[in-house]
């Protein structure tokens, strides 16, 4: 029996090491290439580590003011979308969880149906809507688009999480004279922190990584996000792969750092409501 347990543990650990290595290998290679000179990227035979370590790729990125502007744009867009989605998802999730009203099931079904359409199918309708509203090539165009993508799923996440909070808390708050809004902000919101974090991380990652609508709805460096900047480094005849990898790592770093700090709450928020 003990032998079987040890074999099971060993198999589990080996599997985790292999899967973890597969997940970390792209990040390792990205870092390795970013510390090489561009000619060394094509040198044969291929080596895992640079023969000559250099920071030229990072200097290229930091000296390019357009790329730094794209970083700022990405933060403005992603943080705005995250704030809007977390706020409205929490309010809507509370409403769907605690209140009964006509067409509640129809509203939930509509929210779920919106997730069935691929983004590519929505490019032309979004482009026509944004241009007719006079919002083309603006932060607001991308914020509205990304919010519409992230908000439906965020609402369902928050609804499922709030469902796990005992309704007795609401009843006790009502007996103490709290209205719906006071109950939400003072009773429901504090224990909903893992759900809020999970929603925020999901929304931030979606807004940070999106590329297609950024290409379609913008045309200038002033408002375009970082994902466009990575594509800008791919030339028609030559590509600075070391700078491309350096910029890609810098673009990935905020997501990795955020997830490392909030992964516990993120997993709690995602799994809430899955078991009753």
User: Domain count of the chain?
Assistant: 1
Contact by Cβ (8 Å): 93, 70 = no
147-173, pLDDT tens digit by residue? 999 999 999 989 988 988 888 888 888
Confidence class of residue 269 from pLDDT cuts 50, 70 and 90?
A: low
33-42 pLDDT per residue, tens: 899 888 888 8
CA distances from 239 to 36, 42, 215, 235, 245 (A): 14, 11, 20, 5, 11
Range of the domain at 235: 56-271
Query: Cα–Cα distance between 203 and 149 in angstroms, integer?
Result: 9
> What is the pTM assigned to this prediction?
0.83
Which CATH number do you get for residue 185?
1.10.3720.10
Mean pLDDT of the 229-239 span: 74
Asked, for residue 248, whether it belongs to a domain, the answer is yes
Residue 48 CB neighbours (<10 A) = 8
In a domain, 30, yes or no: no
pLDDT at 130: 94
Whether cis (ω within 30° of 0) applies to the bond prior to 251 is no
The distance from CA 20 to its chain's CA centroid, rounded to whole angstroms, is 21
pLDDT in tens, 78-101: 999 999 999 999 999 999 998 888
How far apart, in Å, are the Cα atoms of 86 and each of 128, 151, 196?
A: 27, 8, 6
């Amino acid at each position: 029996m003990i032998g079987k347990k040890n074999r099971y543990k060993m198999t589990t650990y080996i599997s985790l090491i292999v899967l973890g290595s597969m997940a970390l290998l792209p990040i390792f290679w990205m870092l390795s290439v970013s510390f090489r000179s561009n000619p060394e990227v094509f040198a044969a035979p291929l080596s895992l580590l640079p023969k000559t370590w250099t920071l030229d790729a990072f200097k290229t990125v930091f000296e390019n003011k357009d790329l730094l502007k794209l970083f700022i744009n990405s933060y403005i867009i992603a943080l705005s979308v995250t704030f809007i989605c977390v706020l409205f998802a929490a309010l809507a999730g509370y409403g769907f969880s605690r209140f009964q009203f006509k067409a509640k099931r129809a509203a939930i079904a509509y929210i779920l149906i919106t997730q069935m359409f691929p983004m590519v199918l929505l490019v032309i309708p979004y482009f026509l809507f944004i241009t007719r509203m006079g919002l083309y090539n603006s932060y607001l165009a991308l914020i509205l688009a990304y919010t519409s993508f992230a908000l439906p799923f965020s609402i369902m996440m928050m609804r499922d999480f709030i469902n796990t909070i005992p309704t007795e808390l609401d009843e006790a708050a009502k007996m103490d004279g709290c209205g719906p809004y006071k109950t939400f902000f003072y009773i429901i919101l504090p224990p909903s922190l893992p759900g809020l974090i999970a929603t925020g991380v999901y929304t931030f990652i979606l807004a940070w990584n999106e590329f297609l609508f950024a290409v379609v709805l913008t045309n200038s460096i002033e408002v375009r996000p970082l994902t466009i900047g990575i594509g800008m480094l791919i030339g028609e005849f030559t590509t600075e792969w070391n700078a491309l990898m350096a910029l890609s790592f810098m673009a990935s770093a905020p997501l990795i750092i955020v997830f490392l700090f909030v992964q516990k709450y993120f997993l709690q928020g995602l799994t809430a409501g899955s078991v009753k």
